[in-house]
Amino acid sequence: MNEPSQKPFFVGYLDMPTRLKRFYTALTVLLFAFAAATGYTIAAQQKSAGPASWLTDATQTISGLLVVDPYPVLHRIDPADPERTESILLVNQGKISADDLAGPFHDKMVSITGYLIRRGGWRMHELASQRPITAYEDSGDDALRARLAASAKPTSLGAVALSGEVADSKCFLGVMKPGVGAVHKACAEVCLLGGIPAMLLVRGEDDKKYGYMLIQPDGSSASKSLARRAADRVEIAGELQQRGDLLYIKMNEKPHGLPRRGLGRSGSE
């Protein structure tokens, strides 16, 4: 007669044999370690969403000259460098432009209260819900106002043709991560339809993204007209302008679509 096998086996209503218990314990530990290592490897290979932030813990108040056309922008003296002017984009809460709130204060010295959105050298303020804009007397400092007004006027830098990605500036500058690309297209379309300033993102030779505000041939906002091109890679030709420390492209015509092979290779931060 054949003798019964001495190998341990598991019977559901009995305690698991010691040898099987040790085996499955070791197997479970190994599986957890493998899953953790796989997760870390995949996460490490993901591209960074960029050095952007949205500071919602507390509001900040800043002052300067408010200009609404083509997009609401506060121009002020840079606190870190009194020799230069800093230009800060303004948006409303949600996917809405600040046009209605800022309109009555166009070309006036004001104080702005809002939440700072920043990425690199770009600055944007999302207006607070309670009295976000208040006008104040210039205190007789006409020279300061004149300096800011002169800086805010468009200065032509010549013709330019660039290829890049159409984006809504609010999400790209820090509200969403990622705030660009096909995965963000639907959100970007809604933001642009709401009047959030449109931006062309161009990748430079240093692998950094450079941003240009986009405006219509008549100098008005291009957000709504470009909404359907959000996240698309396009080529845009027009006049390069500087207003404060922001660069704008006054488009000659509608942008031409390009295959999605990454962003273009020139630009200015």
Query: Start-end ranges of CATH 2.40.50 in the chain?
Result: 52-152, 155-257
Report whether 198 contacts 221 (CB < 8 A): yes
Within 10 Å of residue 22's Cβ, how many Cβ atoms? Answer: 11
Q: Has domain 52-152 been given CATH number 1.10.10?
A: no
Token pair belonging to 43: 């996460």
pLDDT of residue 201: 94
Phi, psi for residue 209 in degrees, rounded to 5: -90, 130
For domain 155-257, which architecture applies? Beta Barrel (2.40)
Report whether 172 contacts 180 (CB < 8 A): yes
Name which of 161, 197, 218, 236 is nearest 73 in CA terms. Answer: 197
Spell out the per-residue pLDDT of the chain, length 269, in tens. 556 556 666 666 677 777 778 888 888 989 999 998 888 877 666 555 557 788 888 999 999 999 999 999 999 999 989 999 999 999 999 999 999 999 999 999 999 999 999 988 899 999 998 889 999 876 567 888 999 999 999 999 999 999 999 999 999 998 887 788 888 999 999 999 999 999 999 988 887 888 999 999 999 999 999 999 999 999 999 999 999 999 999 999 777 666 544 433 233 34
pTM: 0.77
pLDDT of residue 15: 75
DSSP string across 93-135 = SSS-BSHHHHGGGTTEEEEEEEEEEEETTEEEEEEPSSS-EEE
Residue type, 202: V
pLDDT of residue 209: 83
